[in-house]
Structure 1
Amino acid sequence: MNPNKTLWEKGDFTRIAETMRESGTLLVSKLGITKDMDVLDLGCGDGTTAIPEAKLGANVLGVDIARNLVEAGNIRSKKEGLANCIFKEGDATDLNELKDESFDLVVSIFGAMFAPKPFDVAKEMVRVTRKGGRIVMGNWIPGDPTLVAQILKISSAYTPPPPEGFISPMLWGVEEHVTERFVNAGIPKENILFERDTFTFNASYAPQEFLHNFKNYYGPTMNAFEAAEKNGNALQLEQELQTLFNSRNQSTAANSTVIPATFLRVTVTC
């Protein structure tokens, strides 16, 4: 079994994705999507950005390694009546079913960054993008003080060391590494642009319940709690994360969570 597939089929990421819809739609509105544009949404989850892309008239293919998320995406697309948006299983490191230069735009928001073999991921994204087309990635930034980078940092402290040869997905949030990967895939350095952007998690419940969803439905955090349970450190992990969630919450309402998270937006012109 592919360990990356196992990780993202664990739990139910749709519980987290529900808090990301508004920011997903806002981000898509900035991408210059036009009617009949061919868009690949890679590591699409259940369609947080793919569905807004389709609503703007693009022909959207969502690809994700997790079968449960692909199924959830197709259900959402059908409910929205979007015949121009379909979801399929696939691996960002090897998009063998997709032809060269098939898409005007390739989007991957907190998706392809978690795939292994980052140089292969960059090559595949470049390969399937048409000349003059674009790739847009959203990647979490290592050491960033905002929510997700800190969740992953805290969780990693409670899990066993990764296997030999493991490359941290957080390196997709470092400009030098991103540049190296796309230059290796044949992209001129001057065609790679970076900017800091913000994704806001909005939930109609308290931060404690938001943490509950990460603990029970988000693969990396689930693994951290399983490891912490074995070592008798689960309560410590939960307290550390609860402090994080409470301190980052910007909502003043009792049963509401609003937490911004900074990410690196990468735009590549092919």
Structure 2
Amino acid sequence: MNVSLSRNAPRLDHRADRAHQQSSWSSADYAVVGNVLQIVGEELCETLNLYQDARVLDVAVGNGHASLAAARRWCEVTATDFAPDLTHRARERTEALNLGVRFVEADAESLPFADQSFDAVTSTFGAMFSPDQERAASEMIRVCRRGCQVGLANWTPDGFFGQLFAVIGSPRGMAPAAFDWGTEERLRDLFGVYGRIEAVPKRVAFRYRTPMDWVDKFRASYAPVLKTFAKLDVAQQRELRKELLELVARFNRGKDGTMVVDAEYLEVVVVRR
């Protein structure tokens, strides 16, 4: 089937949103809260059944979970992110583990690679936040070889992270429909014309000493929460803290005052036609 991929499609002007989002994500140390997600990258690479010397592109690399998992499987990995400040932890981890990952500064909506350059394309909780979602989806498909796979991990709207953003709202530059990437309906809209879609709901546990410990760490190190608190006065911050603790209480299975919250996400594989 011939489809129009992103380089031939009209492009909306999201430059202001993208610049604001880049600044926001660079304002916090995502690694502090993101390390728990390593297991997500490992499971995604297992699902993709990556093989030695496969050319893998990791889009919106962040902390490097999928990139490192692919490199451990002896793949040739290229990792991209539009915010270079975000990738320094991934670089450090790569060097510490003596793994070969090539880092390229690039926007998910304008990947600087030729058509069908990669045997697999991954993005864990990254591409879903692109301002121009259709463009990001078509770019990942464009650089993936026919018959190969795009693998994604996307938060679901009804899961813990979807509900977190329902509390704090969508920061400027972040598509309001980002969490629709965690629904099969939206995935069909974005990827259905390009290939077969397989989606499996999964969960990853966030474990903290107490719910308040989680609030403090996310307030300091998770950019969307940090930015939301920064806009509020003292009374409003107190109210937001209360709402966040109520959110944790809805999901918490921890005992003795601890926090153990299972955050639902959708593991997605698109097999390109």
Flag whether TM exceeds 0.5 (same fold): yes
1:216 Cα deviation after fit: 1.3
Map of 1:139 onto structure 2: 154
TM-score, length basis structure 2: 0.85
Percent of aligned pairs with the same amino acid: 27
Change (3 A) 1:182 1:22: closer
1:200 Cα deviation after fit: 2.3
- What is the letter of the counterpart of residue 202 of structure 2? D
Q: Distance in 2 between matches of 1:248 and 1:167?
A: 23
Q: Distance in 2 between matches of 1:23 and 1:207?
A: 22
Q: Distance in 2 between matches of 1:64 and 1:207?
A: 31
Map of 1:91 onto structure 2: 107
Q: Does 1:15 align with 2:32?
A: yes
1:106 Cα deviation after fit: 0.7
1:222 Cα deviation after fit: 1.4
Q: Is the 8 A contact 2:121 2:144 kept in 1?
A: yes
Q: Distance in 2 between matches of 1:246 and 1:15?
A: 22
1:9 Cα deviation after fit: 0.8
TM-score, length basis structure 1: 0.86
Map of 1:51 onto structure 2: 68
Map of 2:204 onto structure 1: 199
- What is the letter of the counterpart of residue 72 of structure 2? K
Change (3 A) 1:24 1:257: farther
Q: Deviations over 1:145-200 (max 9, x none)?
A: x321111110118x7xx68x9552122223222212224xx514xx1222212222
Equivalent of residue 155 in structure 1, options 142, 146, 168: 168
Q: Is the 8 A contact 2:22 2:83 kept in 1?
A: yes
RMSD of aligned residue pairs (Cα, Å): 2.3
Q: Deviations over 1:20-62 (max 9, x none)?
A: 2234333433321111111111111121221111111111111
Equivalent of residue 81 in structure 2, options 37, 49, 64: 64
Q: Distance in 2 between matches of 1:120 and 1:133?
A: 19
1:131 Cα deviation after fit: 0.9
**Partner secondary structure for residue 267 of structure 1:** strand
Change (3 A) 1:23 1:229: same
Q: Does 1:100 align with 2:115?
A: yes
**Partner secondary structure for residue 245 of structure 1:** helix
